[in-house]
Amino acid sequence: MFYRLLLLTAFLLISGCSTLKNTKTLESKTKVFLGVNHVLHYDGGINKDANKRIFELYRSLPEKPTKLQITSKGGDVMEGIRLGNWVFDNQLDVIVGKGCASSCANYVFPAGTKKYLYKDSALIWHGNSYQENVNDRVEQGEQNAVNWRTAENRFYKRINVHPLLGEYGHKELKLTFWNFLYHYFNETLGYDYSIEDMKKFGLTNIQLLDGVWEWRKYRPYLEVLRVDVNPQDLESLKPH
């Protein structure tokens, strides 16, 4: 009971802090542009404004780019799904820059026709609409949660990826409350999978631009768990 009260208090504090941020300022920090070799770039949080800007940039180009390079810690989940659908519709390859986490890893990376990783590209998941707190809201019929689940399931069906991609690793996370707070505020909570295990979710055509993928060597301060995937778990887990 004590831990539940602490978690509730922490959630309220976190939520309160987020409401103080200037949304327009955060959106303007995301940069979208056409870089060298005719590659689109999306650097920063995923949001409606940045999506609008990159969609308009793409439409304005007579010669359509075939690659999107993204560096993002994530952002709005519905806009993440929207961006993923756009990537899939336009058959873009996705290149992960320094890192791709949360909504970026859930929806943008999987949507790429080909998926490219540099040796230091961090790729981090930490949940989706199947995580416990959101799943409870879905079962209670909360509209925002139901909308997220519906859009997410539809998206994963389109791209032929298992919908528990972003949530599977939670079964391996056994953190104390204080560890949770430490990791939350330092933005290091999450997990990743080997390339072979990513294939078990349906993530194919992954290519290594440097011949190796060893991002932990370059960012050892990110305490991200490597989760092993049992295919039988995926068969037994029935998303709804």
* E strands in the chain: 31-34, 40-43, 67-72, 93-101, 115-117, 122-124, 191-192, 206-208, 225-226
- Per DSSP, the residues of 111-133 read G-SSEEE-TT-EEEB---TTSHH
Give the per-residue pLDDT at 24: 46
Average pLDDT over residues 101-118: 98
Q: Is the dihedral of CA 193, 195, 197, 198 positive or negative?
A: positive
Supply the DSSP symbol for 90.
T
Spatial distance between the Cα atoms of 23 and 19, rounded to a whole number of angstroms:
9
Q: Facing residues of 225 across strands?
A: 191
> What are the chain's domains?
2-236 (3.90.226)
Give the per-residue pLDDT at 188: 47
* pLDDT tens-digit series, residues 121-157: 999 999 899 888 898 999 999 999 999 999 999 999 9
* pLDDT tens-digit series, residues 211-232: 999 999 999 888 888 999 988 8
- Percentage, residues of the chain above pLDDT 70: 79
Give the per-residue pLDDT at 102: 95
Give the per-residue pLDDT at 22: 40
Residue with tokens 């920090």: 29
Which two three-digit tokens encode residue 157? Answer: 């069906």
- Percentage, residues of the chain above pLDDT 90: 68
Whether the pTM exceeds 0.95: the reply is: no
Average pLDDT over residues 67-77: 97
Give the per-residue pLDDT at 222: 86
